[in-house]
């Protein structure tokens, strides 16, 4: 009872009342057994002796399930094997990786920073994967967090990349997994775009859904051999 009426819960309740909105994607992620763990292991199979980096590890659900020797997990609080924030880690990092999974702080500005730093630490033909790229309703997306399931506003990075013709697909599993391959193209993001995109909310994602390059698991499985090998 005490917990139910905590200042945080009251604050979240009041925000939810204010932003009430009916736009909703009817997606049940639990219906798909193929999740981020399966995807990471599938992609790592294509490399010889791969190097893996995970940003944000928490209970190591993914990190412990990545069945390779060379793996680094960065988290300031728990999980992984390096106790730093992603910014602190990248500041001194010289290592390059075949696959980087970004799943730290789910706020656009931080995800964008993690993405840029990851890109600079990616081997040719390496992948960046990003968790939680597909919010289903406004409370799940609202940032800072007000809801139990929380994707944050990471989707804004997919939109920003699309404006500059950089390809990021969103695989329709496990709260949406963004996938980006290093094809060696010169890469720069524009800070003016960032300022405009930061102000957008879930309704933009919902109403402009066609702009996002979403791909179903079955389509992804069909194309993975020609597209990503």
Ligand X SMILES: C[S@@+](CC[C@H](N)C(=O)[O-])C[C@H]1O[C@@H](n2cnc3c(N)ncnc32)[C@H](O)[C@@H]1O
Please give the residue ranges that form the binding site for ligand X (CB under 6 A). Answer: 36, 54-58, 61-62, 74-79, 85-86, 103-105, 110
Give CA angle at 152 (53, 222), nearest 5°.
60
Which CB, 32 or 162, lies closer to ligand X?
Answer: 32
Which CB, 51 or 54, lies closer to ligand X?
Answer: 54
Please tell me what DSSP assigns to residue 31: G
Dist CA 196 CA 192 (whole Å): 7
Q: Where are the beta strands (DSSP E) in 145-216?
A: 169-171, 177-181, 213-215
Which CB, 79 or 176, lies closer to ligand X?
Answer: 79
- Radius of gyration of the chain from its Cα atoms, rounded to whole angstroms: 18
Q: What is the helix (H) or strand (E) element at residue 157, kind and residue range?
A: helix 155-163
Which CB, 70 or 190, lies closer to ligand X?
Answer: 70
CB of 132 to ligand X, least distance (A): 7
All residues at 6 or more sequence positions from 76 whose CB lies less than 8 Å from its CB, including other chains: 83, 84, 85, 88
How buried is residue 204: exposed, middle or buried, by Cβ count under 10 Å (0-12/13-18/19+)?
Answer: middle
CB of 123 to ligand X, least distance (A): 21
CB of 74 to ligand X, least distance (A): 5
Please tell me what DSSP assigns to residue 107: S
CB of 146 to ligand X, least distance (A): 16
Residue nearest to ligand X (CB): 56
Are 178 and 133 spatial neighbours (Cβ–Cβ below 8 Å)? yes
- The token pair that represents 57 in the structure block: 């590890």
Which CB, 158 or 177, lies closer to ligand X?
Answer: 177
CB of 63 to ligand X, least distance (A): 7
Q: What is the helix (H) or strand (E) element at residue 221, kind and residue range?
A: helix 217-228
Which CB, 36 or 136, lies closer to ligand X?
Answer: 36
CB of 96 to ligand X, least distance (A): 19
């Amino acid at each position: 009872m005490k917990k139910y009426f905590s200042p945080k819960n009251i604050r979240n309740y009041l925000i939810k009342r204010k932003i009430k909105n009916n736009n909703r994607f009817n997606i049940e992620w639990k219906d798909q057994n193929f999740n981020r763990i399966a995807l990471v292991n599938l992609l790592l199979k294509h490399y010889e002796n791969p190097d893996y980096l995970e940003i944000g590890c928490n209970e190591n659900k993914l990190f412990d399930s990545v069945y390779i020797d060379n793996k680094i997990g960065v988290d300031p609080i728990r999980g992984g094997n390096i106790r730093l924030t992603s910014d602190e880690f990248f500041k001194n990092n010289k290592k390059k990786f075949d696959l980087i999974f970004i799943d730290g702080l789910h706020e656009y500005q931080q995800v964008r920073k993690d993405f840029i730093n990851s890109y600079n630490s990616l081997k040719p033909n390496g992948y960046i994967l990003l968790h939680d790229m597909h919010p289903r309703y406004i409370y799940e997306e609202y940032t800072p967090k007000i809801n139990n399931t929380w994707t944050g506003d990471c989707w804004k990075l997919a939109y920003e990349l699309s404006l500059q013709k950089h390809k990021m697909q969103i695989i329709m599993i496990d709260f949406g997994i963004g996938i980006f391959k290093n094809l060696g193209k010169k890469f720069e993001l524009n800070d003016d775009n960032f300022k405009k995109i930061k102000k957008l909310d879930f309704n933009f994602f919902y109403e402009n859904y066609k702009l996002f390059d979403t791909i179903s698991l079955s389509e992804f499985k069909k194309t993975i051999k020609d597209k990503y090998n």
